[in-house]
Amino acid sequence: MFKIRLTGALVFISSLFLSVHTLAANEYGSAVDSSADEVLDCLLEPNEEIKLSSQIPGIIDKIQVERGDKVRRGQVVAQLKSGVERAAVALAQAKVDFGKRKLVRNEDLYKQELISIHEKDEMETEYRLAELELNVAKEQLKLRTLRSPITGIVTERHHSAGEFVGEDPVLTLVSIDPLNVEIIVPVSRMGAIHKGMTAVIEPESSNGERFTGKVDIVDPIIDAASGTYTVRVKLPNPKHRIAAGLKCQVSFKK
């Protein structure tokens, strides 16, 4: 009888231990899954911001874009007054044209040995120098034209026609395709997010619409004060459907 009671007690204790162990394992597993699927706050930012200035000082002749305008890479956005530079190009071009005509006229004379090889060489050198002067004049004229270095949007005009500019910016341009999604991640998730991982982003005021991007940067440095680190996701935005500056929420797919 004693043995039977002891055996029953052991079976009861074993069953109780198994139940507790199973419950703890389930709770631990749920905590891990919750951490893996945790939604984090984020911010949508332009991937590039440029304060466009002139390489040389001068007076603005005209600015061809307004705030909010879309611009293409290489598009002319502003011009400085360039009357002197245009005149220099015209003068250099006239010298090139004259040198070319002079060479053509004297080619037959050289063949007839009426001019020396030295004289022919001088004319050819003068023509080549005139071409170089023309190239310099054209490059100086190009400096009076400001072109957009990116495809993006004008966010600010700092000057107007008639104003003098030096090193200060004329326009501020931003590129929003792709967008940078900046995320502050708690240190407890260190190692859970890696470069190339898929991220699902839901911007505020998007009526639940979600977009997919890829993790581009995982900052290896921890901010000791906040116990966080930074992750950046690249979010394609080809038709500029998503506005920069919006808050958002992000989750990551394994």
List the CATH number of the domain containing 184: 2.40.30.170
Q: Rounded distance, CA 195 to CA 213, Å?
A: 11
Structure confidence by residue, pLDDT tens digits, 194-237 = 999 999 999 998 888 999 999 999 999 999 999 999 999 999 99
* pLDDT of 1 over the 60 cut: no
CB neighbour class for 30 (10 Å; exposed up to 12, middle 13-18, buried from 19): exposed
In a domain, 210, yes or no: yes
Nearest to 50 by CA among 77, 13, 24: 77
In a domain, 243, yes or no: yes
* pLDDT of 19 over the 60 cut: no
* pLDDT of 10 over the 70 cut: no
| pLDDT recorded at residue 37 | 60
Structure confidence by residue, pLDDT tens digits, 33-62 = 334 468 999 999 999 999 999 999 999 999
Residue where a domain stops, chosen among 143, 163, 182? 143
Residues 138 and 208 in one domain: no
- Count of domains for the chain: 2
Asked whether 51 and 146 are in contact (CB, 8 A), the reply is: no
Which DSSP string corresponds to the chain?
Answer: -HHHHHHHHHHHHHHHHHHHHHHHHHHHHHHHHHHHT--EEEEEEEEEEEEE--SS-EEEEEE---TT-EE-TT-EEEEE--HHHHHHHHHHHHHHHHHHHHHHHHHHHHHTTSS-HHHHHHHHHHHHHHHHHHHHHHHHHHTTEEE-SSSEEEEEE---TT-EESSS-SEEEEEEEEEEEEEEEEGGGTTT--TT-EEEEEETTSTT--EEEEEEEE----BTTTTEEEEEEEE--TT--S-TT-EEEEEEE-
Structure confidence by residue, pLDDT tens digits, 108-163 = 777 777 778 888 888 889 999 999 999 999 999 999 999 999 999 999 999 999 99
84 vs 111 pLDDT, higher one? 84
The pTM is what?
0.73
Residues 181 and 127 in one domain: no
In a domain, 201, yes or no: yes
Asked whether 55 and 165 are in contact (CB, 8 A), the reply is: no
What is the arithmetic mean of pLDDT over 95-120? 84
| pLDDT recorded at residue 5 | 45
* pLDDT of 83 over the 70 cut: yes
In a domain, 162, yes or no: no
In a domain, 67, yes or no: no
* pLDDT of 249 over the 70 cut: yes
Residues 200 and 242 in one domain: yes
If pLDDT is split at 50, 70 and 90, which confidence band does 177 have?
Answer: very high
CATH number of the domain where residue 121 is located: 1.10.287.470
In a domain, 27, yes or no: no
In a domain, 64, yes or no: no
Residue where a domain stops, chosen among 143, 162, 188? 143
* pLDDT of 244 over the 90 cut: yes
Q: Which domain holds residue 129?
A: 82-143
| pLDDT recorded at residue 157 | 96
How far CA 184 is from CA of 66, 163, 187, 218, 222, in Å, comes to 34, 43, 9, 10, 11
In a domain, 25, yes or no: no
